[in-house]
Chain A
Amino acid sequence: MRLGIFLVPVLILLAATAWAAEVETIGIIKNLQEPAAIVRDQQTLPAQVGLKLIKSDILRTGPNGRIGVILRDDTLLSLGPNSEIAFAEFVFSPAEGKLSLVTRMIKGTAAYLSGQIGRLSPRSVRFETPVATMGIRGTMFVVKIEDNLP
């Protein structure tokens, strides 16, 4: 009987830990025009509306492809054709004072509307590109990066 009582909280703790160990969703795909893909763990998955994104995902569009995503802090991000973007950091835990959003654009065209992390901590938001890095103060912008491949 004593062992039984002890087991229940242990099981709950184990379950909670296992759930917490799952890789955290950082956002979700809302808009899509093919060809568009997500590269995850070196595998290429076709992009789908409703697909949940994780931090290591690379978003990629082909000719005439587009992707629109919304992140957990309400940041809106989209890609035009022949574009590629990734996330170097995404942490959104205001209760723990942990805020960080670093986006890494590799090529193509993108539109961006800053969300809550930018509102709560502008210094924690950066948008990196091969030619320059952007600091953002709660706002909307678009970026084009030339594709250097011949």
Chain B
Amino acid sequence: MRTHWVGLLLLLLLVGLLGSCAAPKTPVVSAPPPPPPPPQGVFVLLPDPDGKVGQIEISNPSGSQVLSVAGQATTVAKADAPPSAPVKMSDPEIAGIFGPALGALPPPPLRFTLFFESDSVELTPDSKKLLPQVIEAIKERRAVDTSVVGHSDTAGSKEYNYRLSRRRAEAVARLLVAGGVAPDLLEITSHGKDNPVVPTGDNVSEPRNRRVEVTVR
């Protein structure tokens, strides 16, 4: 698979090169010089939907460039050219090139967190009240996929917490189905104690980590 991909890529680049070498008949009156070919790659950093700006690093064997300001772009003329120094791209420019792709980006998923009593598959009273909102969101969004992921805090062993989290996720799934959600929409998994929302040391009781996250896509 990997060899084929490299082969196809080399073929694409080769065809591109051959294509550009074919020279048309030279007219008697000299034509203006052709415009330079567009860069092979353009990479632009954008802010997250909530306004945060991360960082991207664009590298190839000839060089590397980090972008950390929203609207910054780097261009790579070809595979053996180093990425350019950052240039600012205006919003109209970005919309012009990337409008269709950006328009097709799905909305970020809706996430609901349901909390549990310690060492239990019983929802806290506040989370019991949240459940109807979750069911409503799944129906209203016509979700194509909803994950129900169980988590635990770090108190207890890995295996114990994996199983407890799994039982929590299953309990929530049952409640959602009872509320009218189609069972085949739900993907039930457990992350045990390995994906805390509040990082703690091992064997720390932390109510905010004892949760099921329902993500509506």
Contacts and interface: CB of A to CB of B under 8 A. Distances in A.
Interface of A: 25, 28-33, 49-50, 52, 64, 66-70, 72, 74, 76-81, 83, 94-97, 104, 106, 109-111, 113-114, 116, 120, 129-146, 148-150
B104 A135 contact: no
A129 B162 CA distance: 37
> Which of B39, B40, B44, B49 is most buried by chain A, counting CB atoms within 10 A of its CB?
B40
Interface in B62-114: 67, 76, 78-79, 81, 83, 94, 97-106, 108-109
Interface SS majority for chain A: strand
B154 to A, nearest CB: 13
B100 A81 contact: yes
B106 A141 contact: no
A78 B58 CA distance: 19
A132 B105 contact: no
Nearest to B192: A95
B41 A28 contact: no
B48 A140 contact: yes
Given A68-B104, A149-B16, A94 B217 contact: no
Interface stretch (B7-15, B26-34, B120-128): B7-15
A94 B150 CA distance: 12
B54 A143 contact: no
Given A80-B101, A135-B56, A139-B56, A70 B106 contact: yes
Contact of B215 (A52, A74, A129): A74
Given A28-B217, A80-B100, A109-B98, A148 B38 contact: no
A23 to B, nearest CB: 15
A97 B162 CA distance: 13
Given A130-B41, A142-B94, A95 B194 contact: yes
B45 interface: yes
Given A81-B100, A148-B12, A140 B46 contact: yes
Contacts of B12: 130, 148-149
Given A94-B195, A140-B46, A141-B56, A80 B40 contact: no
B191 A94 contact: yes
Given A113-B108, A131-B41, A149-B15, 12 more contacts: A28-B145, A74-B108, A74-B109, A78-B106, A79-B101, A109-B97, A131-B78, A132-B79, A134-B59, A140-B49, A141-B46, A141-B56
Contacts of A129: 41
Interface string B149-162: 00000000000001
A136 B60 contact: no
